[in-house]
């Protein structure tokens, strides 16, 4: 039981068990029954609640436990991303429930509200069962909340309108849940209170998964349960690409909440650049379209330090998003740098000249976390890259082959697709050299990166890294190594362009730990970008948080930039959470004081806005005298329930 509780505690609910990225098929129980409790992540929350005496067993719990046929798909999916084994949690949950006496179970009564909800969506798709409610813990409901919720899984927009009517009639807050991937991060922080509800109706979009590709106008119309992975797969089948975020995230929710933050924003844009139209349920509970002639200007956005929107004002029920044609000959390259300003200057120049589609400066930590199959290999590779290779940043580019040719002429050292593939397969061998005398000698050379990737050492490095899938697979649990050998032998798992489009590997950022996104949008001036980076780094260091630049990309030919900086934290460490919260507050003020910077908090739930309304004009920056007033505002905001 102890190890299963540890697994449940370490779980980060990345949602990757809900997309078929390994082609194992999905959890049969989850697919059939829908509610979070039937998926691996929900079961983890149930085990925690039961063992902490926070949940009284209900009859539904027996159905939840029995629904798992122990097929082991979740183990494969979860292990690839987080190295955890959810099946152990299921086993512990089953043992726990089977050991209960009949009188331990409570019957859950159907009240009038539930009756009304069931009339709309059907008997099986609305519930007030505490076991199901509790399974939404951490992905929309804060841990330790009451059970005063209804969870509903509608099938159509019209059903959502009716649910909204019931919420209004009964004065209940109504909250949509996409995949919950952002809330998993936010609910551990000081944002937990304002972004969550204490009671109300939660809409789970898990049954609304229709995608219609419209090839003639290069768009896709999708329902709110469609994930980024599912949309990308459908787009790829038609030789097109969608601009999406994390693979398990709901596309509609992601556009509405964050506008899609991606390295592809360099070519494809952000927010309203990415969609044609959206259907939504407004605050009055009626169905509307953004393209309707007579609606209030949907793009209007408030400005100023108090213009935070921490909750959605619309429930997006359908969206027509833009797809982008793939060019015939796309290529990917990485250009390594030891210092940020040089990497930034190079990437920025590409953005200005419109060279490349996905263009970003990424950090050493991103590369290490993404390609390494375990945290310890990631840590060792990160060390090797920093100490010996002095590879701290990489300009990461996917573009048309003609553009890549031009870029190569301007670049110093280049890591081409073939070498990137070898790095993915051989990262554990590289990481194992962390105490190597040879690398110490190499690090004394003036340009180790050039020697390794382009000089006489290149052929030896290629030979060392190899192209077999055995090494990388051997990092996983023994009983799954054969399976992962097969996974890595699929071309797409080492295809750098495919990986950029589907974003499978970035999910490893939350391998048994979480991170809080910092940064934001800013004027495309290198000095400003570096200043933001430095402030975020200094605050992270001050509070003893593992911190690193995530990536920097651009909009509008480099006129605007986006910088993501991440504070990593152990969500089970209360002291770390305290430090994180202080760092969030301090870094926010730090960013607000810089001219022409819009911290990421100010685009929350503004993805439907036209970006020109949000980013023009950029803030002038607050003064020292403004800080007490802003702090007072924040105190009030953070203490308010949504």
With binding defined as CB under 8 A, does residue 441 bind other proteins? yes
Distances (CA, A) of 414 to 313, 335, 427, 452, 498: 46, 5, 18, 10, 19
Q: Which of the residues 407 through 436 are near other proteins (CB under 8 A)? A: 436
Q: Can you say whether residue 557 is alpha, beta or left, with left for phi > 0 and alpha for psi between -120 and 50 degrees?
A: left
- Antiparallel, parallel or unpaired: β 393-400 and 330-337: antiparallel
Residue 426 near residue 466 (C-beta atoms within 8 A): yes
Burial zone of 489 (CB within 10 Å; 0-12 exposed, 13-18 middle, 19+ buried): middle
Q: Which of the residues 448 through 467 are near other proteins (CB under 8 A)? A: 451, 455-457, 460, 463-464
Please select the residue that binds other proteins; options are 101, 216, 328, 437, rule is CB under 8 A.
437
- CB of 463 or CB of 559, closer to other proteins: 463
How big is the site for other proteins, counted in residues (CB under 8 A)? Answer: 14
Please select the residue that binds other proteins; options are 5, 106, 345, 442, rule is CB under 8 A.
442
- CB of 454 or CB of 586, closer to other proteins: 454
With binding defined as CB under 8 A, does residue 445 bind other proteins? yes
Beta carbon of residue 460, minimum distance to other proteins (angstroms, whole number): 4
With binding defined as CB under 8 A, does residue 387 bind other proteins? no
Beta carbon of residue 430, minimum distance to other proteins (angstroms, whole number): 11
Torsion angle in degrees (nearest 10) through CA of 504, 508, 513, 516: -60
Beta carbon of residue 427, minimum distance to other proteins (angstroms, whole number): 15
Nearest to residue 20, comparing CAs of 73, 79, 67, 92?
73
Listed in sequence order, the residues at least 6 apart from 453 whose beta carbon sits closer than 8 Å to its beta carbon are 336, 413, 414, 415, 419, 461
Classify the C-alpha dihedral 343-346-348-351 as positive or negative: negative
Beta carbon of residue 370, minimum distance to other proteins (angstroms, whole number): 24
Question: Which H or E element spans position 555?
Answer: strand 546-555
With binding defined as CB under 8 A, does residue 169 bind other proteins? no
CA-CA distance, 66 to 231, in Å (whole number)? 32
- CB of 192 or CB of 442, closer to other proteins: 442
- CB of 414 or CB of 451, closer to other proteins: 451
Beta carbon of residue 276, minimum distance to other proteins (angstroms, whole number): 54
- Antiparallel, parallel or unpaired: β 200-204 and 149-152: parallel
Beta carbon of residue 464, minimum distance to other proteins (angstroms, whole number): 5
With binding defined as CB under 8 A, does residue 170 bind other proteins? no
Residue 302 near residue 631 (C-beta atoms within 8 A): no
With binding defined as CB under 8 A, does residue 470 bind other proteins? no
With binding defined as CB under 8 A, does residue 438 bind other proteins? yes
Q: How far apart are the first and last CA of the chain?
A: 36
Burial zone of 417 (CB within 10 Å; 0-12 exposed, 13-18 middle, 19+ buried): middle
- CB of 276 or CB of 451, closer to other proteins: 451
Q: Which of the residues 208 through 267 are near other proteins (CB under 8 A)? A: none
Beta carbon of residue 630, minimum distance to other proteins (angstroms, whole number): 54
Residue 318 near residue 279 (C-beta atoms within 8 A): yes
- CB of 217 or CB of 444, closer to other proteins: 444
Beta carbon of residue 444, minimum distance to other proteins (angstroms, whole number): 8
- CB of 351 or CB of 465, closer to other proteins: 465
- CB of 341 or CB of 443, closer to other proteins: 443
Residues near other proteins (CB under 8 A) are: 436-438, 441-442, 444-445, 451, 455-457, 460, 463-464
């Amino acid at each position: 039981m102890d190890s299963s509780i540890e697994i449940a505690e370490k779980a980060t609910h990345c949602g990757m068990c809900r997309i078929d990225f390994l082609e194992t098929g999905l959890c049969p129980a989850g697919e059939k029954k829908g509610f979070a409790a039937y998926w691996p992540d929900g079961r983890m929350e149930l085990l925690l609640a039961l063992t902490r005496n926070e949940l009284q067993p209900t009859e539904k719990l027996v159905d939840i436990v029995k629904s798992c046929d122990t097929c082991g798909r979740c183990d494969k999916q979860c292990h690839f991303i987080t190295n955890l084994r959810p099946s152990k949690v299921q086993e512990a949950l089953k043992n726990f429930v089977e050991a209960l006496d009949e009188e331990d179970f409570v019957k859950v009564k159907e009240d009038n509200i539930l009756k009304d909800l069931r009339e709309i969506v059907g008997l099986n798709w609305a519930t007030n069962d505490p076991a199901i409610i509790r399974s939404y813990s951490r992905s929309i409901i804060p841990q330790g909340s009451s059970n005063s919720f209804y969870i509903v899984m509608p099938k159509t927009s019209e059903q959502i309108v009716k649910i909204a009517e019931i919420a209004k009639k009964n004065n209940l807050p109504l909250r949509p849940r996409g995949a919950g991937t952002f809330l998993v991060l936010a609910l551990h922080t000081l944002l937990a209170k304002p972004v969550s509800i204490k009671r109300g109706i939660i809409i789970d979009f898990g049954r609304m998964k229709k995608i219609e590709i419209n090839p003639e106008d290069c768009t896709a119309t999708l329902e709110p349960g469609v994930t980024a992975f599912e949309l990308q797969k459908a787009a790829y089948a038609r030789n097109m690409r969608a601009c999406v975020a994390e693979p398990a995230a709901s596309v509609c929710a992601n556009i509405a909440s964050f506008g899609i933050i991606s390295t592809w924003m360099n070519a494809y844009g952000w927010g309203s650049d990415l969609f044609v139209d959206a259907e939504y349920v407004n605050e009055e509970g009626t169905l509307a379209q953004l393209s309707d002639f007579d609606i209030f200007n949907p793009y209007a956005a408030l400005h100023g330090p108090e213009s935070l929107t921490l909750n959605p004002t619309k429930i997006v029920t359908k969206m027509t998003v833009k797809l982008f044609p793939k060019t015939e000959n796309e290529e990917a390259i990485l250009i390594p740098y030891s210092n940020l300003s040089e990497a930034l200057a190079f990437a920025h120049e590409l953005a200005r000249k419109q060279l490349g589609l996905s263009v970003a400066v990424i950090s050493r930590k991103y590369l290490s976390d993404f390609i390494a199959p375990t945290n310890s290999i990631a840590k060792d590779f990160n060390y090797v890259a920093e100490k010996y290779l002095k590879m701290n940043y990489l300009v990461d580019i996917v573009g048309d082959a003609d553009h890549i040719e031009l870029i190569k002429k301007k670049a110093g050292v280049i890591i081409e697709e073939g070498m990137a593939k070898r790095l993915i397969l051989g990262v554990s061998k590289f990481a194992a050299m962390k105490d190597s005398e040879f690398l110490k000698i190499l690090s004394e050379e003036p340009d180790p990166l050039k020697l390794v990737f382009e000089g006489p050492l290149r052929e030896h490095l290629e030979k060392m890294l190899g192209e077999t899938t055995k090494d990388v697979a051997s990092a996983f649990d023994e009983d799954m190594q054969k399976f992962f050998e097969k996974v890595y032998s699929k071309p797409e798992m080492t295809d750098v362009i495919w990986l950029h489009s589907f974003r499978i590997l970035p999910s490893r950022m939350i391998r048994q730990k979480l991170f809080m996104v910092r940064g934001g949008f800013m004027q495309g001036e290198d000095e400003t970008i570096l200043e933001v980076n430095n402030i975020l780094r200094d605050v992270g260091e001050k509070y003893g948080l593992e911190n690193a630049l995530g990536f920097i990309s651009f909009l509008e030919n480099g006129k605007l930039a986006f910088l993501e900086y991440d504070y990593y934290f152990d969500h089970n460490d209360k002291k770390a959470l305290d430090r994180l919260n202080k760092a969030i507050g301090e870094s926010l003020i730090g960013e607000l004081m810089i001219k022409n910077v819009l911290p990421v908090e100010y685009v929350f739930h503004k993805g439907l806005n036209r970006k020109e309304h949000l980013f023009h004009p950029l803030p002038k920056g607050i003064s020292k005298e403004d800080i007490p007033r802003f702090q007072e505002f924040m105190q009030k905001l953070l203490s308010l329930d949504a």
